[in-house]
Amino acid sequence: MVSPGTVLNGRYRIDSRIASGGMGDVWKGTDDVLDRTVAIKIMLSALLEEPGFVKRFHAEAKTMAGVNHPGVVRIYDFGNDQHLAYLIMELIEGDPLSRTLNKVGRLTPARTMMLIAQAADALQAAHDKGIVHRDVKPGNLLVRPNGTLVLTDFGIARSAAASQLTATGAVMGTASYLAPEQASGVGASAISDVYSLGVVAYQCLTGHRPYDGDTPLEIAMKHVTGTPKAMPNDIPPVVRQIVERAMAKEPGNRWPTAAAFANAARQAAGALSHGTGPTLPVQPVSPSPVSATPVSPGPSRPLSPAPGRPNGGYQRGSAPVPAAPASLTPVHGVPYGPQAPAPAGGGGRTALTVVLVVIGMLAVLACAGYAGYLMRERDRTGSSPAHSELVTLSAAGWLNGTNHVSMDPMTEGRRTR
């Protein structure tokens, strides 16, 4: 009987129970040799009676100890003592995702996608070592206080090296998260873990599991033939598509790898966190290039919000303003909005009057010069006396005062008597 104070192999002291599961109990303990706190998983005694379990357990533990990823719980040691099989693991300070869901019900799409991306990365690390988890569920996903996630409880995992020791037709895993092929007894693969993680995402987004039933068998069969309840309309379409693809009945219709699932979820989380909206393409998962649209200059006008969108769809302070070079002269802006007309002044009218006076003087000089030219031509050709009364007015004479006459009695270049 395991109880606080029990020491395994003279080294690992059991302190307090942390959790219980289908494969055994997890305890908080102390490694007296290295003086560090550890998690100790004690397998159920009934499992030891299963043919080949101990051999398979040792093979699994050895394989899992080779997985080096921050999202996968680290395996320190394993062994048998007092008819007990135990696993010494890293102690994760955090809460199971199941406890968080019980408290809050639902998670936001952005938060869900970020957690799922981390879990999928951890699964890919295990899959790369040939390990299939087989029991992905919220209770096996621990979330640290800083928000990082760790995948735990590989107690029923199966590696390729130990697959020949698996009992034929055995169905392992929790019914609510079981992949259809597992429920059908075909066997689990890496794509089965993708399905189970998709069910976890569904629960995070909706606050409930996709299938319910009175017995585990009934629930398992619904994964094979049933249709999950529609997700709420407030979930962005791209998030729904990512989760629905992970939960496809046919393994070939799911994300091909856990890494592909992680990439799609991470892109969606990034888009939602930055407020760009659900515009991320689901397939392919690589981001598409963005081209800039040239903006034509136009007259200034007050900004008005676009219909149905507050603030016209923009956010104050969302774009950086470049600093002006030191060599440029500062330009003082004009206050935004309609401007009052400039006050009337005499400067403009005075300038116009001067221009008109100058034009008039030039016209008079031109006429006088032309009249003088006509008089000289008539005198040279012997014109009639009537024409001799014409007064020759030259511009130079007018300016020098030699031909100065009053302009008042003159009409069309002639002087009256």
Neighbours of 259 (CB within 10 A): 17
Q: In angstroms, rounded to a whole number, what is the distance separating the alpha carbons of residues 317 and 305?
A: 16
Strands 141-143, 131-132: pairing is unpaired
CB 403 within 8 A of CB 371: no
Q: In angstroms, rounded to a whole number, what is the distance separating the alpha carbons of residues 259 and 80?
A: 35
Q: Is 128 a catalytic residue?
A: no
**CA 249 distance to own-chain centroid:** 29
CB 144 within 8 A of CB 96: no
Considering 77, 121, 135, 193, which one is annotated as catalytic? 135
DSSP string of 216-271?
HHHHHHHHHH--PPPPPTTS-HHHHHHHHHHT-SSGGGS-SSHHHHHHHHHHHHHH
Residue 183: CB partners within 8 Å, gap ≥ 6? 171, 175, 220, 221, 223, 224
Burial class (CB in 10 A: 0-12, 13-18, 19+), 388: exposed
Q: Return the SS3 of 383.
A: coil
- Quote the DSSP letter at residue 337: S
Q: Return the SS3 of 129.
A: coil
Per the DSSP assignment, residues forming a β-bridge with 77 are: 88
Q: Return the SS3 of 369.
A: helix
Q: Which positions are annotated as active-site residues?
A: 135
